[in-house]
Structure 1
Amino acid sequence: MKPKVFLEFVEIKSLIASVLPFVLGSLYAVYNYHQVHLGYLLLFFVASSLFHMATNANDNYQDFLHAPRDAANQEFLEATNVVGVNQISIRQARTLTFGLGGISLILGLWLVTQTGLPLLWMGIYSYAVGYFYAGGPKPISSGPFGEFFSGFTMGFMIFWISVYINTYDVAPITWHGTFNVMISAGLAIFAISNIMLANNICDMDEDIALGRHTIVSYLGKPVMLQVFAWSYIVGYICLMVAVWIGVLPKLSLLTLLSVIPVLKNTRQFMRKQVKRETFILAIKNASIICLTFVVCMGLGLIFN
């Protein structure tokens, strides 16, 4: 497989959706606990990146494998799905998927031996969601809970694991601490879940033809477009609450400046929902929000 095809198969461009929560979680640990386990952190970064690629690869080949072979879906099979477009064999797709996932699993299990069992339970949840998102008899992505699982797993779990790896030896997991992490990750959670929501809004007709019944097919585009817009608002409220309770530096509030481009992109998406033209706006919003968040948290650490 050529490198270009491989990178397209694992959707390397989407890796930012897991990299930024990883950085945010690490900055959270530095601000609140003043320590970093750099070696373990870098190993987790490699493991999570490999697993993200494996999940994307699994999504692509499972979609190709289970798509109905009829005239209505011929364009999807031959001109849309990366497996069909590049004539990747199912055997090759599976080998790459489970190879990437296997290496990630080995690294993750070694980290469990160094940091403790809580990481194992976090990992079991994450790996289960990663596989069943597109695999199994009832894939998560084909149902009404895809947005929740994508946002929660990538926006919160990666953030939380990054915090845990840096603090496992000084801060036991508590309900209070978990709540603080979740509120701090709220902006990332909603921004990332909106990527999935925008994808499902754009693909509603195609999804129905492929037998997928996402939340958009249940509640309709008008309702979910409102959810799309309000999700950003709730995310920004989470940011302000986290600063108010003292678990994020005050300069994190500068992240609110990202409202300007995010509002512009959101209005444009509300007017037109076409996969090839406007879906990218949700990715841009998530990137703008999380990158601004990273920079502002960094400034908060420097000038705290």
Structure 2
Amino acid sequence: MKPKVFLEFVEIKSLIASVLPFVLGSMYAYYNYHQLHLGYLLLFFIASSLFHMATNANDNYQDFLHAPRNDDNQEFLQETNVVGVNQISIGQARTITFGLAGISLIIGLWLVTQTGLPLLWMGLYSYAVGYFYAGGPKPISQGPFGEFFSGFTMGFMIFWIAVFINTYDTAAITWQSTLAVLIASGLAIFAISNIMLANNICDMDEDIALGRHTILYYLGKPVMLQVFAWSYVAGYACLVIAVLMGVLPKFSLLTLLSIIPVWKNTRVFLHKQVKRETFKISIKNATLICLSFIVFMSLGLIFN
């Protein structure tokens, strides 16, 4: 397989959706606990990145494998799905998927032996979501909860695991500390879940033709467009609450400046939802929000 095809198959461009929460979680740990375990952190970064690629690969080949073989879906099978376009064999797709996931799993299990069982339970949840997102008899991505699981797993779980790996030897996991992490990661959760939501909004007709009953099928496009817009508001509200709680530096509030370009981009998407033209707006917004968060949180760490 050519490198270009491989990178397209694992959707390497989407990797930023897991990298940003990883960075934010590490910064959160340093701000609140004043320590980092850089070696473990690097291994977790490698493991999470490999598993993200494995999940993307699994999504692509499962979509191709289970798509109805009829005239209505020939365009999807031959011109849209990366497996069909590049004539990737199912055997080759599975080898890449399970190979990436296997290496990630080995690294993750070793980290469990060094940091403790909480990482095992976090990892089991993440791996289960990663597989059942597109695999199994009733894939998550084909139901109404895809947005929740993608945003929660990537925006919160990666953030939380990064915090745990850096603090496993000094801080116990409590309901209070978990709630604080959840609120602090809210901005990332909603921004990432909106990527999935934008994808489903753009693909609504195609999804229905393929038998996928996403949240759009139940609530309709007008309602979910409003959810798309208000999700950003909810994320910014989480940021403000986290600063008031004292778990994020006050400089983080400067992230609110990103509201201006984010709202401008959102208005464009609300006006037009075309996959090849406006879906990328959700990725731009998520990147803009999280990078702004990282920059201004960094200032908070420097001048705290």
TM-score, structure 2 normalization: 1.00
Amino acid at match of 1:88: I
Alpha-carbon distance, 1:273 to partner: 0.4
The equivalent residue for 2:74 is 74
Task: Give me the whole-angstrom Cα distance separating, in 1, the residues matched to 2:260 and 2:73.
Answer: 39
Task: Give me the whole-angstrom Cα distance separating, in 1, the residues matched to 2:48 and 2:296.
Answer: 24
Matches within 5 A, 1:1-304: 1-304=1-304
Task: Give me the whole-angstrom Cα distance separating, in 1, the residues matched to 2:152 and 2:90.
Answer: 30
Amino acid at match of 1:284: K
Q: Secondary structure at the match of 2:172?
A: coil
Task: Give me the whole-angstrom Cα distance separating, in 1, the residues matched to 2:10 and 2:299.
Answer: 33
Alpha-carbon distance, 1:68 to partner: 0.4
Tell me how large the CA RMSD over aligned residues is.
0.3
Amino acid at match of 1:226: Q
Amino acid at match of 1:121: W
Amino acid at match of 2:66: H
CA displacement 1:187-229 (0-9 Å, x = unmatched):
0000000000000000000000001000011000000000000
Task: Give me the whole-angstrom Cα distance separating, in 1, the residues matched to 2:297 and 2:201.
Answer: 32
Amino acid at match of 1:239: L
Task: Give me the whole-angstrom Cα distance separating, in 2, the residues matched to 1:243 and 1:37.
Answer: 25
Amino acid at match of 2:241: V
Alpha-carbon distance, 1:89 to partner: 0.2
Alpha-carbon distance, 1:262 to partner: 0.3
Alpha-carbon distance, 1:62 to partner: 0.1
Amino acid at match of 2:175: W
Q: Secondary structure at the match of 2:185?
A: helix
Amino acid at match of 2:46: V
CA displacement 1:27-61 (0-9 Å, x = unmatched):
00000000000000000000000000000000000
Amino acid at match of 2:289: I
Amino acid at match of 1:129: V
Give structure 1 regions of 4+ aligned residues with deviation exceeding 2 angstroms: none
Task: Give me the whole-angstrom Cα distance separating, in 2, the residues matched to 1:50 and 1:146.
Answer: 21
Task: Give me the whole-angstrom Cα distance separating, in 2, the residues matched to 1:14 and 1:296.
Answer: 23
Alpha-carbon distance, 1:69 to partner: 0.4
Alpha-carbon distance, 1:17 to partner: 0.1
Uncovered stretches (5+) of structure 1, i.e. residues with no partner = none
Alpha-carbon distance, 1:153 to partner: 0.1
Task: Give me the whole-angstrom Cα distance separating, in 2, the residues matched to 1:95 and 1:262.
Answer: 39
Q: Secondary structure at the match of 1:126?
A: helix
Task: Give me the whole-angstrom Cα distance separating, in 2, the residues matched to 1:205 and 1:193.
Answer: 20
CA displacement 1:47-82 (0-9 Å, x = unmatched):
000000000000000000000000000000000000
| Aligned length in residues | 304
Amino acid at match of 2:109: L
Amino acid at match of 1:238: C
Amino acid at match of 1:272: K
Alpha-carbon distance, 1:298 to partner: 0.5
Amino acid at match of 2:233: I
Uncovered stretches (5+) of structure 2, i.e. residues with no partner = none
Alpha-carbon distance, 1:94 to partner: 0.2
Task: Give me the whole-angstrom Cα distance separating, in 1, the residues matched to 2:7 and 2:203.
Answer: 23
Amino acid at match of 1:249: P
Task: Give me the whole-angstrom Cα distance separating, in 1, the residues matched to 2:126 and 2:296.
Answer: 28
